[in-house]
Amino acid sequence: MDALKDLIRNTTYLKKHHDPIRLGQHMSQSFLSLQTS
Protein backbone atom coordinates (compact mmCIF):
# COMPACT_ATOMS: atom_id res chain seq x y z
CA MET A 1 0.00 0.00 0.00
CA ASP A 2 2.97 2.32 -0.47
CA ALA A 3 1.31 3.98 -3.44
CA LEU A 4 -1.67 4.86 -1.28
CA LYS A 5 0.57 6.32 1.43
CA ASP A 6 2.36 8.42 -1.19
CA LEU A 7 -0.99 9.57 -2.55
CA ILE A 8 -2.15 10.69 0.88
CA ARG A 9 1.14 12.39 1.73
CA ASN A 10 1.33 14.22 -1.60
CA THR A 11 -2.32 15.19 -1.37
CA THR A 12 -1.84 16.82 2.02
CA TYR A 13 1.33 18.52 0.77
CA LEU A 14 -0.43 20.01 -2.26
CA LYS A 15 -3.44 21.02 -0.17
CA LYS A 16 -1.14 22.86 2.22
CA HIS A 17 0.39 24.74 -0.70
CA HIS A 18 -3.00 25.51 -2.29
CA ASP A 19 -2.19 24.13 -5.74
CA PRO A 20 -5.50 22.70 -7.01
CA ILE A 21 -4.29 22.19 -10.57
CA ARG A 22 -1.27 20.14 -9.54
CA LEU A 23 -3.41 18.41 -6.94
CA GLY A 24 -5.88 17.35 -9.63
CA GLN A 25 -3.12 16.16 -11.95
CA HIS A 26 -1.46 14.24 -9.14
CA MET A 27 -4.71 12.64 -8.05
CA SER A 28 -5.52 11.35 -11.53
CA GLN A 29 -1.95 10.09 -12.05
CA SER A 30 -1.99 8.34 -8.70
CA PHE A 31 -5.32 6.67 -9.31
CA LEU A 32 -4.10 5.48 -12.70
CA SER A 33 -0.95 4.01 -11.17
CA LEU A 34 -2.98 2.41 -8.38
CA GLN A 35 -5.22 0.74 -10.94
CA THR A 36 -2.37 -0.56 -13.09
CA SER A 37 -0.17 -1.86 -10.26
* The model's pTM: 0.37
Which pLDDT score, from 0 to 100, does residue 14 have?
67
Q: Output the pLDDT for position 21.
A: 80
Over residues 1-37, the pLDDT tens digits come to 688 898 888 778 767 776 678 778 878 888 888 787 6
The reported pLDDT for the residue numbered 1 is 65
Q: In sequence order, what DSSP letters do the residues of the chain get, joined into one string?
A: -HHHHHHHHHHHHHHHTT-HHHHHHHHHHHHHHHHH-
Task: Report how far residue 19's alpha carbon sits from residue 37's, in angstroms, rounded to the nearest whole number.
Answer: 26
Q: In this predicted structure, what is the pLDDT of residue 37?
A: 63
